[in-house]
Amino acid sequence: MTDIKTVGIVGAGQMGSGIAHVCALAGYDVLLNDISPDQIRQGLAQIERNMVRQVARGLITQEAMETGFKRIRAADDIAAVGATDLAIEAATENEDTKKAIFKALHPHLLADTLLASNTSSISITRLASSTDRPERFIGLHFMNPVPVMKLVEIIRGIATDVGTYETAVNFAKSLGKTTANAEDFPAFIVNRVLVPMINEAIYTLYEGVGTVDAIDTALKLGANHPMGPLELGDFIGLDTILSIMNVLHDGLADSKYRPCPLLVKYVEAGWLGKKVGRGFYDYRGEAPVPTR
């Protein structure tokens, strides 16, 4: 099994920065890369803010924060990521984008570098087949927000070898995470169940069964969910929800996975959720206000 000491992450958005955060606190040296240097700076700033919040809540010490944050370095050149023990792709949920990242990494990889994708729905076998090392490729699906959520789904492609799998499980556990093994089917376990529920909530809104507020209140109080499905969709990103529904619909050819037309409209309008200030709620004021 590979002894992981250095971790490279491509994608410095919410997921990539969260993965960098937990890796650094667990003692790994981390390189954080993104196509946008500004996004790397924003990612590092977000990590620092989240660590400060953890110190304030007594979850980590000030010393652990300072030591951990110093372990994370910006990598403006993707070549640096290739020279790590484990390179994790954490880019947008688009298969062509992910394959392009692995292609860019290819000339810079060490012989023993493991490759992982944080994809939440796309075939690990298909992504792995676009690399030179499908046997050393695995899915590591972290949940959002990474520093808070305890689960990592481990997804093996058809060619993933036993050593890669065992290393991945031990790595996830070293971060304080619990692992769940998922077979390489569209959207794996969590999103196979969760995202169609969100899509159904959007259909419920689309068909006029309930308002945004009524649907979210009903699920929070009637099913004891911590967030309503429309609020959760905004938090995840409606573009990501649509991408996952398209993967499910295309991959399983079942009409029950058809994306709701209202979801498509919101994405077309650029109302992608909390990250842009507007989705099923408008976040631009002091308190979120339903947009329908």
- Catalytic residue selected from 89, 93, 121, 153: 153
Full pLDDT tens readout for the chain, 292 residues = 568 999 999 999 999 999 999 999 999 999 999 999 999 999 999 999 999 999 999 999 999 999 999 999 999 999 999 999 999 999 988 999 999 999 999 999 999 999 999 999 999 999 999 999 999 999 999 999 999 999 999 999 999 999 999 999 999 999 999 999 999 999 999 999 999 999 999 999 999 999 999 999 999 999 999 999 999 999 999 999 999 999 999 999 999 999 999 999 999 999 999 999 999 999 999 999 999 9
Q: Is 224 a catalytic residue?
A: no
Question: Which CATH number applies to 192-290?
Answer: 1.10.1040.10
Domain locations in the chain?
Answer: 6-182, 192-290
What pLDDT does 2 receive?
Answer: 65
153 catalytic? Reply is yes
> Which CATH entry fits the domain spanning 6-182: 3.40.50.720, 3.30.43.10, 3.60.21.10, 3.40.50.1260?
3.40.50.720
Q: How far apart are CA 10 and CA 32, in angstroms?
A: 6
Q: What residues have CB less than 8 Å from 41, skipping those under 6 apart?
A: 74
Out of 50, 121, 141, 231, pick the active-site residue: 141
Say if residues 275 and 237 touch (Cβ distance below 8 Å): yes
Q: What is the dihedral of CA 254, 256, 257, 258, to 10 degrees?
A: 100
Give catalytic status of residue 231 as yes or no.
no
Instruction: Tell me whether residue 181 is one of the annotated catalytic residues.
Output: no
Quote the CA–CA distance of 90 and 73 in Å, as a whole number: 16
